[in-house]
Structures are given as C-alpha cells and as structure tokens.
Structure 1
C-alpha cells in the first residue's frame, strides 16, 4: 500500500496539524502486528504461567470463581475471557497464544489511531509498525497471559480519554470510567494510567469544566475498582519470588522492560531518541503533547511501582509494565519521522534497520525452550506418541525446577496424560480450589505398580546421559539413581528401556 508522507506546517503552539487519517492505516498495521506476533507461535513449549492459564480457564465458571478466592484473583477477568476463548479453540500452543497475537494487533491499531490524533498520520503509522516490532510486544503476543490485553486496554483507554476530552459529553465520560475500572480489574497496575491521563488533561489545555468531568470519572473508576484492589493485597504472597530492588533493576528498566533482553534493540532505540531530539530542535518541531503524554505513560507507572517496591513489597518486574509499551512505540515513531524528515523511503529504511536489530531476539523468543527454558510440550509430545493407554505415570517431585513443582507440567497439556494411570495424583486442582493437582508420594501407591504394563517417569535432566537412548536395561544415571521415583520401581523389577531428554526434563520408559 502506497503512503505519501508530506511535510506539514508547524502551528503557533509548536504542534503539527494532523494529516487526514485513513481508516485502513490502523487495519493493515493491525494485521501486520498480528502476523508478526503469531509467526512461530506453535514452536515454543508451554510453561508454568501458561499452564496456569490453561488450568484455570478450562474449568467451569463456578469452579474458577471458587479458585480465585484462594489464588490468582489478579488474573480472574483474563481467565474468564480465556474460558470463552477455549470454548471455541483448543488449548494448544498455537491456538492459546493466537488470542494474544490478535490482542497485539488490536493494540497496534490503537497506537496508529492515538499517534495520528496527537501528532500526524505519518507518526501514527510509523509508531504502529514500531509497536509491532518492539521486542516486549513480540514477546507478549506469544504468551498466553494478559500482557497483550493490557496493551489493548492501555492504548484504547487513552484514545477514549482523548475523545472524551474533545467531546466532553456524559456518555463519553461514563464509558471512560467503566473502561478504566475494567482495565484495572484486568491488571491492577493499569490503575496507574489515571495519573498519565491527568498529564493528558493538562497537555490538551482542557477547560475547567472538562477537568472536573475527568476528575469525576476517575473517582468513579477508582471507587468501582477499590474493593478488587484491596482484595488482591491478600494474595501478594504469589509474587514473593520477586527480588528487592538493586543494581540489576536499572538494567531491567533500560533493557528488559521494552526490549526483552535485547541490548542491540535498546541501544538503537536510545540512539533514535537522541537523534530525534536533535532533529526536532533543528526543525523547530516540538511535538509537546505527544512527547509529554508518552513520557508520562512510561515514567509515572514505572516510578510508582518502584516506590511501592522500595517502601512495601517488591512487585517490580519488567513484564508487569507491558501496558506502557505503546508509549515507547509512540516516542520512537515520532523520533523516526523527525529524523527521516517525513521521507517515506527514509522512514522505511529506519524501520527495516530496527527490525533487523530486533530479529535475533525475535527468533530466540520462538525457540523450543524460549519460555524460561521449560519443556512441558516436549514431554507431552513423547507421552502422546509413545505411551499406550493403561500405562502408568510416575512424577519425580524431587526436581529442582523453578518456578513451581513438577505437577504443573501435566496441566499444560492434560489430554496427553489422560490415557495414563496417574496414581500419584492427589486431590485435583478443582477439588482444592487451587491451580495444581496435589501430589502423592510414590511409595504410597507402590502396590499398584506390578499391574502397570509400562512406567513413564518424568524427572530432571541428567547431563551424564545422552539426549536419547534405547536398550534392554539402560543405566539410571546419577540423577535418577537417587530418586525414589526410580528406586521403588527398580526394586519391583522395572528396568529402563528408553530415555528422552530435553532442557529441564528427562522422560524414561520402564518395563518389567
């Protein structure tokens, strides 16, 4: 699609007038962003967090509601939405993640719309493409969690706030209050968008009457979401694994928060921002509103979370601020357009360079063990292809995996293990109103083992054994030799005849 970018006049207030927007701009950027995020979605293994989504979202609504009283209330609305998604699509690697890829597309359309309204059409389109390529975004689009949806609510709530400021009608402010409350229930950190919108109110030069309407809508939104915010404080134990602030936090903010461990992408973004500032100064173009709102969107939520982490419980983790990614895309989009002086060719070249710089990280995100190195899907594939109905499953609960114990592995792809006798499975997650099934020690059901045609044991990877081996009686290896999951079956005459090893796990088949 050909897009003609022409230099625009500078108004007396330092802003350039917005070029006539084309509705298809947001559509094609949304499609582009969805495709970029969805590419390779089936390849990475499911992991702990995604297993939690599948475990919670595939149970009935009453069962989900009871679970949220114990755990994961902060994800409750997302789980409910995914319950509807899984009623239509299977809970596989690709289909579960496609929901997030589509959300990224919807958020990209919002970036195009917001950028065009705050600045120019060229800035909006460029920012939308940058958003699609941003490493934090391509990561979120491949994660069966709420991060991509928080980007949707973040950018479109901001678009709605801008529309309400300009129209100043009760129905717009009512919609804003409802959406703000809903965004907060989807992700508690989204409440930090409200101070950002206060900056927008000031930057847009709203009248006293309009400022009063915004304040009233904000109070209503806060009051509506306050009970939820207070309740979630009772479940802060869930993020007890987050480390206190330290020197590492600086690197997490500068690199991980928007660039997902991609130092080259972070460096290029920094260079673009510096070059953009120089270009603005030379050209006399200072997009004050867009820059002020975007910087507030980046800085205020980050500072608020850091202060809370310093004074209260540590809660800062880069991906929790994913809803601020549209702001970084807007800043970079404006810088690219300023540096390229609105030349279509120059803008395209800079976008291609940014894409090339981000590509190594993009490919890494789509590796088989991209999700914290976990290999839930690979284990499930072995069981699916090689295990027979009526075989038995042995889970070695002494593994040192983090996060979590070994039982979440079966929750990621439960259908793969359904054909096995899992005598070590205790009360189910549904019965316990928890995410995971309970685990029963292997010695308590040893009397049932002689009736098993084969034992499928899942344990920790053993670096002393090969990735795959087969034979009439294979060595257990140092890792399995010290595990009761092997010792007890061995005493009953079971011997290992085949072994598969992945990144975290090893799977063995044993027969008598």
Structure 2
C-alpha cells in the first residue's frame, strides 16, 4: 500500500539523495565544507542510529565525496595560492569561537552561557547531537590538517557557524523554561491550560525582547565594522600615497609577498615601480602573490641602487628577510604608517657599488 515499507523505503531514499546533493553542492562551493560529513557521522554515532540509517547516510556521503573529489584534486594542485597562510596555533581555535559567538565580550559570554546550558541540560537531545559536532569537529579536523599543510582560516569554517545559533537558541529555550517554571492549578486555582498559555506568551515576548536588545546592542558594532577606520588595513590610502610619493622606475619591495595584494587591488599607482625582489610572478608560479628571490640574490639586485621603497605588513611576526637586508645597507629616510601596513623609503647608507 501507499504507506507500506516499500513506499517508506523509497521516501527515505529520496531524502538521503537530497541530503547528499545538498552536501555535494555545499562542498563544491568550498571544498572544506566536506568536513561536515565527519560531524554528521559523530551525530549518528552518539544518537545510536540503526544500521539502515547508517547505510543511507553512508551511501549519500559517498556520493557527495565522489562529486567533490575532482574539485579537491584541482584545488590541491593550486594549493600554493594559500601559501600566505601560516601554521596555526591553538589560539586560532579560540579565535574561531570569538568570531562565531562574538563579536563583543558581553555577547560572547552570553552565547557561551547559553551553549553550556544547551549541552549540560538539553531539552532536545537530537538538536544538541546535530549542533555540537558541527561546531567542534570541522574546526578540529581543519586545524589538524593545517599542522601538516597550513590552510586554517576562520572563513573556511563558515559552514559550521550554524551550530552556534542552534545551540544558543536551545539554551535560551531551556533557560526560559526554568525561569518560568510550571504552573500549579492547586496553588493558583486557575486551569493549568490557561496559565500554560499565558506562560508561553510571556516567554515568547521575552524572547522577542531579548532578540531586539541583542540587535540594538550590536548595531553600533556593525556600523563601525563598515567604517574605513575599522579595517585592519587601508590599501586604497596606501595606493594613493605610493602614487603621490614614488617616481616611475623606482624599486619596491613587498614584505611579506602577501603585501603585493595592493598591486593587485590598485595596480595603477604601482604600475611604474620595479618589483625588485620578484623571482616568478603569481600566474607563472601558480601562487597568488608570486615567489621572491632569496636574500643573497636580493642583495645582488640592490647593488647599485641608491634608494628603495618597502611596503611591509605592520606585524613583526609576519616580516620576511627583506627588511634586514635593507637595514643592513640602507637607512630609513621616510615612513608612513597606515592601519595594518607601512610604507618606508630607504636610501643607501654608503656609496653604491
């Protein structure tokens, strides 16, 4: 019949096919999203899913992985384009928590409290079993992979972000239930159904008020996020300064090579400058920012140069070998500090060879 085992099996098959299609489409948009399958596997494990569910999920997951493998192979050949990413530290995992559950300290604290309530006192264990692995498993797996090949970045984990609001909502629901309590007809003399309806209305109103307060609290932060001064760097201002201060043919160095992004984003002001440290351009090297020469070759190229410009990241831990080469043979004559980046002009300390 229409509701028999065969019909239910066909319906389940279509659902698993749809699941596999959604996972494949998501991973084709970003290959690291395939890590959600590991989170879903843990969900099935802690939920003690029956064998037929494992079979359906495994078939759908295998199909999704098969669809993504060609993209993964192509991406692996182009992995040099993310050579600018450094080996992660454990603090990067906490940075993911701050990025996804923040942005302010108060919002972060409230979210962590709600997450803890949802995990410790779950009202719907199925929701916790889905959301918690989604938050934890992909970041940990990507972090482990990045220890071998640096590829860890917060934006590569946006697909896992959904787990935090799900758990926060579950924690808020559990907290509201605990605060409201259960009506007792014997105490109030009113029907339980009437009091329960009023309680639900009060809880719903409190939820709407909480969401409104959270939005109002964070609205100034979102406004500041869109202002020029909130940027970690200001490439437009730097490009304008380069165009105003430099002359065609002058040598320029980017330290680290990632700072060539200014030439990619604003090529016109830097078009006449000579990238003296570049060994192989980005397209030819298969990288995003190109490959530089070593310190010895750079020193040879600087032989006879009277002055050079340095565009450097304003982060000492990311500085490469170019600044020491310059400071050993040149003196700093000009410096312009902008958010996240510096423009410096060096002139030779002694006579050029």
- TM-score between the two structures when normalised by the length of structure 2: 0.61
Q: CA separation of 1:457/1:252 partners in 2, compared to 1, >3 Å: closer, same or farther?
A: closer
Counterparts of 1:358 and 1:456 in 2: how far apart (Å)? 45
Q: How far 1:188 moved relative to its partner?
A: 3.4
Counterparts of 1:340 and 1:294 in 2: how far apart (Å)? 20
Say yes or no: does 1:435 pair with 2:278: no
Stretches of structure 1 that go unaligned for 5 or more consecutive residues are 1-163, 450-454, 463-478, 488-495
Q: How far 1:220 moved relative to its partner?
A: 1.8
Is the strand fraction higher in 1 or 2?
2
Q: How far 1:199 moved relative to its partner?
A: 5.5
Q: CA separation of 1:443/1:374 partners in 2, compared to 1, >3 Å: closer, same or farther?
A: farther
Say yes or no: does 1:220 pair with 2:71: no
Counterparts of 2:327 and 2:66 in 1: how far apart (Å)? 56
- Equivalent residues in 2 for 1:366-381, closer than 5 Å: 366=226, 368=228, 370=230, 373-381=232-240
Partner SS for 1:407:
helix
Q: Deviations over 1:239-286 (max 9, x none)?
A: 68544655x4664465355436x43322111223345678x77xxxx2
Q: CA separation of 1:459/1:225 partners in 2, compared to 1, >3 Å: closer, same or farther?
A: closer
Q: How far 1:421 moved relative to its partner?
A: 2.0
Counterparts of 2:45 and 2:140 in 1: how far apart (Å)? 20
Equivalent of 1:351, from 183, 208, 211? 211
Q: CA separation of 1:203/1:165 partners in 2, compared to 1, >3 Å: closer, same or farther?
A: farther
Q: How far 1:217 moved relative to its partner?
A: 2.0
The answer to whether the Cα contact below 8 Å between 2:252 and 2:308 also exists between their aligned partners in 1 is no
Q: How far 1:232 moved relative to its partner?
A: 5.0
Q: CA separation of 1:444/1:203 partners in 2, compared to 1, >3 Å: closer, same or farther?
A: closer
Relative contact order, higher structure (CA 8 A, sep 6+): 1
RMSD: 5.0
- Equivalent residues in 2 for 1:252-401, closer than 5 Å: 252=95, 254-256=97-99, 258-259=101-102, 262-274=104-116, 286-306=123-143, 308=145, 312=148, 316-340=152-176, 343-355=203-215, 358=218, 362=222, 365-366=225-226, 368=228, 370=230, 373-382=232-241, 386=244, 391-392=247-248, 394-397=250-253, 400-401=255-256
- Equivalent residues in 2 for 1:226-265, closer than 5 Å: 226-229=69-72, 238=82, 242-243=86-87, 246=90, 248=91, 251-252=94-95, 254-256=97-99, 258-259=101-102, 262-265=104-107
Q: How far 1:313 moved relative to its partner?
A: 5.2
Say yes or no: does 1:188 pair with 2:31: yes
Counterparts of 1:376 and 1:219 in 2: how far apart (Å)? 44
Stretches of structure 2 that go unaligned for 5 or more consecutive residues are 1-7, 178-199, 315-323, 348-353
Equivalent residues, number: 299
Q: How far 1:345 moved relative to its partner?
A: 3.0
The answer to whether the Cα contact below 8 Å between 1:242 and 1:317 also exists between their aligned partners in 2 is no
Counterparts of 2:287 and 2:204 in 1: how far apart (Å)? 54
Partner SS for 1:435:
coil
Counterparts of 1:217 and 1:405 in 2: how far apart (Å)? 40
Q: How far 1:193 moved relative to its partner?
A: 1.3
The answer to whether the Cα contact below 8 Å between 2:114 and 2:167 also exists between their aligned partners in 1 is no
Q: Deviations over 1:179-202 (max 9, x none)?
A: 433433443331221133346667
Counterparts of 1:316 and 1:500 in 2: how far apart (Å)? 31
Equivalent of 2:273, from 412, 422, 438? 422
